[in-house]
Amino acid sequence: MKTRNFALCALGLAAAITFGGAATASAQARSDTRIPVRKDQPAPAPTVTDTVRIVRVDTVTLRGRVDTVTVRTVRTDTVTQMQMLPVQKLPGVYFGLGAGVAIPYSRYRSSTKDGLDLQAQLGWFPKDAALGLRLTGDAIFFRNRDTDCPNCPTPRLYQGAADVLLRFPLDRTSKLNPVLYFLGGGGINKFQNFLPYRNKSNAIVTAGSDTYLQYPGLNLTATQAGDKSIFFSYEGGLGMDFNAGPAHMYVESKFVQVQTTGGPSRYIPIVAGFKFY
């Protein structure tokens, strides 16, 4: 029995040694086999880049208790409401009355003193336009110089003028509603008891048939004075319109040059008054 078992163990051991050697030889044969390499290998697969988003959740732990904190953003919007102030009216057709003083200029003052100027005017502007027209009538009551001719009559001047006006509203939302304007034009003039004088060129200036011939030191005759009675004038100046409560007022000044005989006679009127429209 023991002989049989021994024989079987010997045969099993021989079979195991034989199988192990065959496996080792097969493995060596495979390792010696060359792997064929082809030049036209397929292109490698494209690399895919993945974006990883990391979301962090913060948890506030207060004394062992887990609380969720919610933050609310409050935005305050400021709404500005624009309130348009009423625009003051500009005159279209208007009528004006004023008074002031007329001041003789240069050598004209050697025979004539300042006098009262009464004025009336009628004007027109197209609706809110800058340019307008105006007719003006003035009655000027000059005075004689008491030291040179105490017995001379009081000289007077009556004038009618037509002017072009250019106006510039300064603040139409203000209750004052100031409007600056410039004027320029010409007119016709009629003198009464014009007092003659010598100008800078030493020429005697007269107003034709309306000249006072007995002025001391000049000894004029009617022929020397001439017979002209209407004289043309040029003028230019500026003024201001404004509101004073419910009243519409104006103040203006201009330079007037009357083409009298022997040379021009110049004066400056300054007038203030009311406008109605």
- CATH number for 197: 2.40.160.20
Better-scored residue on pLDDT, 193 or 20 = 193
pLDDT in tens, 188-200: 999 999 999 999 9
Which residues lie closer than 8 Å to 187 by C-beta, 6 or more apart?
136, 159, 160, 161, 162, 232, 233, 235
Q: If you average pLDDT over residues 248-274, what whole number do you get?
A: 97
Q: How much is the pLDDT for 75?
A: 63
pLDDT at 26 over 50: no
Question: Is the four-CA dihedral 90, 95, 98, 102 of positive or negative sign?
Answer: positive
Burial class (CB in 10 A: 0-12, 13-18, 19+), 131: exposed
Q: 3-state DSSP call for residue 223?
A: helix
pLDDT at 248 over 80: yes
Which parts of the chain are beta strand (E)? 60-62, 65-67, 93-104, 112-124, 131-144, 156-169, 179-192, 197-198, 204-205, 230-244, 247-258, 265-276
Determine, yes or no, domain membership for 177: yes
| pTM for the full predicted model | 0.68
For the chain, how many structural domains are there in total? 1
Determine, yes or no, domain membership for 112: yes
pLDDT in tens, 44-66: 555 555 555 555 555 555 555 65
Range of the domain at 184: 93-276
Q: How much is the pLDDT for 89?
A: 86
pLDDT at 18 over 50: no
Would you state the structure tokens that stand for residue 109, as one six-digit string? 């003052």
pLDDT at 29 over 50: no
pLDDT in tens, 70-113: 555 556 566 555 656 678 889 999 999 999 999 999 999 999 99
pLDDT at 160 over 50: yes
Query: pLDDT class for 42, splitting at 50, 70, 90?
Result: low
Determine, yes or no, domain membership for 219: yes
pLDDT in tens, 208-235: 999 999 999 898 999 999 999 999 999 9
Determine, yes or no, domain membership for 235: yes
Would you state the structure tokens that stand for residue 121, as one six-digit string? 């005017």
